[in-house]
Chain A
């Protein structure tokens, strides 16, 4: 494979991979504070894209994106307050079904608002044909935008959890909810924050990739299953490992297309990886088996 083609696939893989990683981190943030897998995680990405596209006709692009992220974030918090917050120790099965229901309703409402067409934000800089030469390949500047924004976001998230008091309180809830409550942390508010945070990062990802991958009302399910694959691959709850796992999956997918693997079965790659990982190493590639054994499932 010539270098040019190789770097072409590599960059495509990294672009998708970082999106999967963002969705996986969204899963992890909520999983860590609640033990719930939010099946509507992919919908946040879709909403971020769709809302910014609509707002962009009213205001400049940067403002539209900021507003879209903000709206999605509030929406995420609202979901938690209305549907999750007041449930008394719900079973895992119940939570799965509720979040699946939410994802369906969000998707169907999106279908009625925005239709089933493919939409996209304009390129942040340049246009469809502008490109940057890297490693012999022509890369769209938007790819660099996506990489930069997502990398900064991942970095800021890790700083947030390490150095801010809110971030540390969320971490405390993750490791021991009861102890955190006894220390005066409002665990319920932390859950709401975790929904808002994962909605917001999903929306950011939805905005930066919209020019490249387009936005469609039903993109959430595919993203959710790939994000989940990545989250499991890295070990549920481990966000840094999710980035590595996300890039791995993105690159595998990109090169599978490169070697002539039929495009329609591309989804099947992620799912097969998910199934194999679940059966062989349910605690993830980078996870610790004993630690996973102590969790509920």
Chain B
């Protein structure tokens, strides 16, 4: 096997486990909550890294896809269908017969009947895929500033929709989202005694996603994507359907964002309009840029560290400003990411020489 390709994946798995062990040994289990959320964010970031770094397209609307995933799942799993079933609504009755509804009780002891999270998950992904295609086909014909503004515009529209539509909870968002039972015994929720399991669910999902992307990057398609990024017209002249490849990459990254959205929403038990905000999209772009655009590992490590620090409140009320400053500084002094700074290169080189 190619060690250049497999070693980072192995190291990645070890790091994921080591993080949990370290928190447990140091008695800081409470870090796991933010770590888990950081890992889901990393899932989105890894997809965005594929779009920005490998297909060379800027997307300022990825929080929109995160929101489409999260809101779809949250809406479907919080909609109480008890009365609809009694009322004989055809679709609801059919779903009930197929065993696609789950019953439960609310905090106030009210009887609940809602869509099985797996079905909601599948629907969320289907909707995201459709939207990503519809948006991607026209948008990806654009370049430079036009592409940036068009994706930003898409992001703002999604934000406006979730803020204005009653079923999405308007400014409050959606809360009391039930857990998502992947398999018996494996449930995504925010319960305290479920913390370690949830960390490993997030780690597992992220690992799987990264593995798929890593495979893709080292495949025929990945080579074509790098060619597109480097010299698009030459790639097209080599027989590569450049617009289709860019589109598929965009859709894949949108799906990654939506999966992150669904899982994070069930983990947090809710989702709010801020999750769809433009600042979130900018933040994701910042992280990928800091990691070095075409560096999956750079983006992942920066994503984990910065998201974790931000969630721990390290940046205080200057949270957004910190990301702005980081963005400017990196683009001014290290446009290829901080792992490409002379200091690191020297370090890497000396490590290689030994």
Contacts and interface: CB of A to CB of B under 8 A. Distances in A.
The reply, when asked whether chain A contacts chain B directly with Cβ atoms under 8 A, is: yes
Interface of A: 37, 83, 87, 90-94, 96-98, 100-105, 107-109, 112, 221, 225, 228, 232, 262, 264-265, 267-268, 271-272, 274-275, 278-279, 282, 296-297
B344 interface: no
Interface stretch (B86-94, B119-127, B140-148, B182-190): B140-148
Question: Main SS of the interface on chain B?
Answer: helix
Given A93-B58, A96-B145, A100-B327, 12 more contacts: A92-B143, A94-B335, A96-B58, A97-B327, A101-B324, A104-B279, A104-B327, A225-B152, A225-B153, A264-B160, A268-B156, A271-B154
Given A94-B335, A271-B156, A296-B144, A101 B325 contact: yes
Given A96-B148, A265-B164, A274 B327 contact: no
Nearest to B293: A93
Range of interface residues on B (Cβ < 8 Å): 35 or more
A105 B156 contact: no
Interface of B: 58, 60, 138-139, 141-146, 148-150, 152-154, 156-157, 160, 163-164, 278-279, 282, 285-286, 289, 317-318, 320-321, 323-328, 331-332, 335
Contacts, number: 108
Question: Main SS of the interface on chain A?
Answer: helix
Given A104-B323, A225-B153, A264-B160, A97 B144 contact: no
A296 B146 CA distance: 12
B200 to A, nearest CB: 35
Contact of A278 (B146, B279, B285, B289): B146
B149 A262 contact: no
Contacts of B58: 93, 96
22 contacts: A90-B335, A92-B144, A93-B144, A96-B148, A98-B327, A100-B60, A100-B285, A100-B327, A101-B325, A104-B324, A105-B321, A109-B321, A225-B149, A228-B149, A267-B160, A271-B156, A274-B153, A275-B139, A275-B153, A278-B142, A279-B141, A297-B143
A279 B141 CA distance: 8
A92 B324 contact: no
A87 B332 contact: yes
B198 to A, nearest CB: 32
Contacts of B325: 101, 105
Contacts of A93: 58, 144
Nearest first, the 8 closest Cβ-Cβ pairs linking A and B are A104-B324, A108-B321, A101-B327, A101-B328, A264-B164, A271-B153, A297-B144, A105-B324
B153 A105 contact: no
A108 B327 CA distance: 14
Contacts of A274: 149-150, 153
A229 to B, nearest CB: 8
A96 B150 CA distance: 13
